[in-house]
């Protein structure tokens, strides 16, 4: 079914088979260059989302994922077996769980950098994860028999998983990318965020800025689209969602390159929006963006900050998850905060204590509501680690239990938040003489005391 048809020479075939036996994952994109282009553009889109590329092979599919540093945007491309001309996935006995790895996005971009060369020269691409798990290998098979092999060092072995709801949301649309590109042309190039205001009768696109003063000075653009322009338009809950345009443009570029319709699934402002671009069954991509929570007094603000909530602990194994589990070093604990529906930004919350008492009261109340709602359908971006230990499964269960028990801790009232933000002001003045060993001289002055410069 999935043969190594691209090789004609028998000795090469044998060589590949040997490789297959040694490595645990070995896939190759279909001969037709279009497939390689899809992969290359997927990587390009992911590089505009996050700084690290998560590669996750599974028995019947291969996923590439990325998340932004602020955890407000997440993207995942999943290629099924049918995308590849051969798909070889072997799980060696020592591993109980899937092999995943994480590479630096910079290295990926170095590999996929020059589109003109890539699209013209490369015929197919072989992706391999070696058994020792130190490198991710991209082998480009180009014209004239040239083979370019790129070795990307693996940073760590971790999974990136987001929990989000795609199908059970009340608002779903499908739209052609050309329409959105055309719509965005009317907005200034430096627009950072886009607001979609939806009702069953129409959709409004607006640019948005957090600061009201800023909005006064910039041009405000509003564009209306009718339901008839969409391939599918089903709005059950009137709402307005605001998300970052930068990552959205990455998704739009990808969809437009292949003329694929974009699906949007969302509920209300404050909850994440999921964009889907797929060409079932060969691949599917999901882009999850957090949206800003609109306040009823028209002052848009963020929902609770992620650092105030419970933190999900996870363990990290450096690099060599593919080895057998009798490794000497102990895993290190690392705290990762889960992502929530709102963007977390400290500076916008400082704006909150400004207004009068009545406003703060309203916001507090609003926060309570948000937490209760958000806990139900959060995208929880949890970093789960591979555990190679025998008691791995038990610890994993403990981990997920901790995650599920995300407490509905109400955010501290503004006064307390101010204390948190300005906490250094409340601490004792730093005095270097308070540090232990301050009088211990490790290296004497080279110059004499007497010959000090005036």
Partner 1 sequence: MKFRGKIAESACMRQFANIIVTLARLSKLCVVRFTKDFIYFIIVEENVTVGKPMVWSVLEQTHFFNEYSMTGVSEDQNEIYLEFETDVMAKSLSSLRVSHGAKSVKMKLTNKKSPCLTFEIQLSELSHSRFCVHDIPVSVIPRKEWTALQEPVVPNYDVSIQLPGLKLIRTVAERMKSLSSHIVLLANHEGALILKVETPEATVSTHFKNLIMENSGGDEENTEEFFSARIDIRKFVQFLTSEQVNPSKVVCNIVDDKMVAMFLINEDIIMHYFLPAVAA
**Spatial distance between the Cα atoms of 382 and 392, rounded to a whole number of angstroms:** 17
CB of 197 to partner 1, least distance (A): 13
Nearer to partner 1, 7 or 174 (CB): 174
The residue behind tokens 């889109």 is 45
| The two three-digit tokens of residue 345, written as one number | 């930004």
Contact between 111 and partner 1 by CB under 8 A: the answer reads no
CB of 187 to partner 1, least distance (A): 8
Binding mask 162-201 for partner 1 (x = CB under 8 A): -----------------------xx-xx------------
Stretch that binds partner 1, among 13-21, 22-30, 211-219, 407-415 (CB under 8 A): 211-219
| Member of 216, 329, 376, 453 binding partner 1 (CB under 8 A) | 216
Stretch that binds partner 1, among 167-175, 224-232, 299-307, 320-328 (CB under 8 A): 224-232
Nearer to partner 1, 46 or 203 (CB): 203
| Member of 178, 220, 324, 335 binding partner 1 (CB under 8 A) | 220
| Member of 146, 215, 346, 415 binding partner 1 (CB under 8 A) | 215
Supply angle C-alpha 348, 298, 303, rounded to 5: 40
**Spatial distance between the Cα atoms of 370 and 194, rounded to a whole number of angstroms:** 21
**Spatial distance between the Cα atoms of 264 and 276, rounded to a whole number of angstroms:** 6
Q: Is 189 exposed, middle or buried (0-12, 13-18, 19+ CB in 10 A)?
A: exposed
Length reported for the chain: 454
Tell me the CA distances in angstroms from 377 to 241, 322, 370, one per residue in order: 16, 34, 11
Contact between 228 and partner 1 by CB under 8 A: the answer reads yes
CB of 185 to partner 1, least distance (A): 6
Stretch that binds partner 1, among 71-79, 216-224, 280-288, 355-363 (CB under 8 A): 216-224
Contact between 225 and partner 1 by CB under 8 A: the answer reads yes
3-state secondary structure string, 92-106? CCCCCCCCCEEEEHH
Q: Where are the alpha helices (DSSP H) in 64-211?
A: 105-111, 115-121, 177-185
| Member of 93, 143, 217, 423 binding partner 1 (CB under 8 A) | 217
Contact between 214 and partner 1 by CB under 8 A: the answer reads no
CB of 220 to partner 1, least distance (A): 4
Contact between 226 and partner 1 by CB under 8 A: the answer reads yes
CB of 209 to partner 1, least distance (A): 12
**Spatial distance between the Cα atoms of 76 and 159, rounded to a whole number of angstroms:** 12
Q: CB-hemisphere CA count at 13 Å for 138?
A: 23
Contact between 437 and partner 1 by CB under 8 A: the answer reads no
**Spatial distance between the Cα atoms of 25 and 21, rounded to a whole number of angstroms:** 9
Contact between 222 and partner 1 by CB under 8 A: the answer reads yes
Q: What Rg do the C-alpha atoms of the chain give, in angstroms?
A: 26
CB of 351 to partner 1, least distance (A): 18
Residues forming the site for partner 1 (CB under 8 A)? 185-186, 188-189, 215-226, 228-229
């Amino acid at each position: 079914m999935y043969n190594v048809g691209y090789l004609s020479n028998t000795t090469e075939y044998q060589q590949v088979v040997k490789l297959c036996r040694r490595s645990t994952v070995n896939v190759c994109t279909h001969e037709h260059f279009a497939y390689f282009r899809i992969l290359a553009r997927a990587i390009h889109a992911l590089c505009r989302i996050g700084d690290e590329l998560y590669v996750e092979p599974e028995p019947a599919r291969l996923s590439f994922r990325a998340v932004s540093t602020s955890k407000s945007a997440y993207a995942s491309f999943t290629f099924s077996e049918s995308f590849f001309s051969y798909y070889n996935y072997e799980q060696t006995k020592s591993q109980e769980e899937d092999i995943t790895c994480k590479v630096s996005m910079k290295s990926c971009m170095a590999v996929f950098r020059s589109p003109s060369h890539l699209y013209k020269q490369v015929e197919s691409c072989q992706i391999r994860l070696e058994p020792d798990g130190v490198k991710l290998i991209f082998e480009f098979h180009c014209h004239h028999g040239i083979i370019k092999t790129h070795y990307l060092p693996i940073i760590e072995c971790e999974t990136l998983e987001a929990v989000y709801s795609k199908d059970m949301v009340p608002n779903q649309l499908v739209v052609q990318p050309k329409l959105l590109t055309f719509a965005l042309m009317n907005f200034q190039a430096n627009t950072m965020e886009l607001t979609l205001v939806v009702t069953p009768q129409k959709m409004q696109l607006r640019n948005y800025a957090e600061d009201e003063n800023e909005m006064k000075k910039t041009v405000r653009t509003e564009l209306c689209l009718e339901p008839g322009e969409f391939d599918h338009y089903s709005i059950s809950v009137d709402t307005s969602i605001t998300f970052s345009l930068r990552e959205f443009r990455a998704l739009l570029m990808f969809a437009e390159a292949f003329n694929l319709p974009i699906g949007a699934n969302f509920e209300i402002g404050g909850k994440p929006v999921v964009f889907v671009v797929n060409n079932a069954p060969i691949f599917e991509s999901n882009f999850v963006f957090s949206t800003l929570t609109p306040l009823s007094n028209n002052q848009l603000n963020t929902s609770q900050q992620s650092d105030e909530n419970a933190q999900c602990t996870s363990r990290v194994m450096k690099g060599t998850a593919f080895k057998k589990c009798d490794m000497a070093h102990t895993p290190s604990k690392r705290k990762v905060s889960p992502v929530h529906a709102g963007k977390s930004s400290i500076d916008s919350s400082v704006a909150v204590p400004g207004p009068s008492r009545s406003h703060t009261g309203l916001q507090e109340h609003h926060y309570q509501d948000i937490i209760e709602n958000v806990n139900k359908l959060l995208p929880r971006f949890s970093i789960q680690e591979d555990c190679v230990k025998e008691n791995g499964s038990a610890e994993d269960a403990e981990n997920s239990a901790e995650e599920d028990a995300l407490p509905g801790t109400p955010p501290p009232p503004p006064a307390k938040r101010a204390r948190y933000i300005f906490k250094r002001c409340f601490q004792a003045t730093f005095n270097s003489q308070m540090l232990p060993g301050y009088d211990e001289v490790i290296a004497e002055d080279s110059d004499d005391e007497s010959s000090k410069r005036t």
